[in-house]
Structure 1
Amino acid sequence: MNHKIVFTGLFVALIGMSSCKKEEIIDEIIDETPTTQSTPPPFPTLSNSDGTLVAIKVQSSQSSPIGPVTMTIGLGVAAFYESNNIDNLIDAGNVNVNSKQLTKQTNNSYVFQPDASNATGVDFSGGVSWSVTGSAAVSAFSFDPSIAFPSAGEITSSEVVNKANGYTLTISSVTDADSVIFQVGSVLKTVPGNTTSCSFSAAELSGLSNGSNVAQVAAYKMENATITGKSYYFINETVATQTVTIE
């Protein structure tokens, strides 16, 4: 069974804005979304661990009088598991990334959501620092991952996805990534970290509804640490997004 993280208001305002077996990404993260449907950034959740904490930079290109401007929004997501069971999320007290408190969802996942007073979200320019106050099931800890954020360039493929012809999603560059997730709507694939192009067949795209959607390329780097006797994965991810039209 896939567990889903609830984002209540984030994706109305943002352009492109899981749990799985190792190196698999679930195709759906949200259980409830606002009327305006958007696609949240994909990320890996490792099954051979006691939890996953993800720092995410979402990059979207906006038109302006001086040309395209890239906007970066910082997000945080965390989940903690009972006995390495990724289908059973547990309470971990308060979870903070760079002093921003994540909101615990109804399924015990944690999400930081930007709002009107903090539209750009978490500032990761000085690195990433996690703190967890703990609970009866999770010991308190603090941890600063040593990994950097991968870099991801701009998506360079067509803004029109013709399902019958298949589609190749491309990005100008990816560096310092362990793996890369290519996603069109709800269809995604995980590929090696040096990959800048990924093809989707007509059969793979056939289930997508026509209309506006989002293409995303998520480059991520992972660090595993044993803390208070438990294994946690810390992930830094950079996501490039582009609005596409499905035909």
Structure 2
Amino acid sequence: MVDVIPAPATPRIPVHGHDELRASSLYFPVRRIYCVGRNFADHAREMGATVPTGKADRGQPVFFLKPADALVLDGRVPYPPGTGELHHEVELVVALGTDAPPGMLAPDAAGSLVYGYGLGLDLTRRDLQAAAKAKGLPWDTGKSFDFSAPVGPLVPAAEIGALAGRTIALAVNGETRQRGSLDDLIWTVPEILHELSKLYALRAGDLVFMGTPAGVGPLQAGDSYEATLDGLPALAGRILPPATG
């Protein structure tokens, strides 16, 4: 078998926390990126969406995808073309280390799929997203573009423990823009994996961006950012001038 073009490299996220790292580096190869929309009530509210008052009226979670090659591993993001409104959305990232069994995954079995956790940014071309939403069109161009998914190192789930009560935050140029508790997720990690399994065959190597708290806002070339979540390595980077050539 001979490829007619060079095979693209598989994105690989560094793993922190393992004792084995003392001897060698470990990496997590990425297959697919799922994202959850409007999974914090305060963010849903700021985006003009109806906010559920309890589990009974949550409806269905909103999903979209980003290509694996949208990952940014060094924090450096060229300002994207076609937009004047690049927005930040800080998110918990869930990495799956085991294939889901065929069929619908029970929520109480979902935890067994999780390899580890990290921090990510769901970068958004907000003007393109808003224009598409206004016309009732898909908003892929607002979400699924080059360099739209900065992600930090992963830490194995066994070394993190329970996520309850942890705070996720994002600072831009040293000023806090977003801050929220993971307790405020509308859909928890097991519930999201359960819902995704109704639509997709979940596999080892998949990432799930879990949604963002309120405070999303613009980024400009030259801005620096730092995302934090209790118990995880920070994700820091900078927005670069638009790529040329």
Whose RCO is larger (CA < 8 A, sep 6+)? 2
Structure in which a larger fraction of residues adopt strand: 1
Task: Identify the TM-score tier after normalising by the shorter chain.
Answer: 0.3 to 0.5
TM-score, with length taken from structure 1: 0.34
TM-score, with length taken from structure 2: 0.34
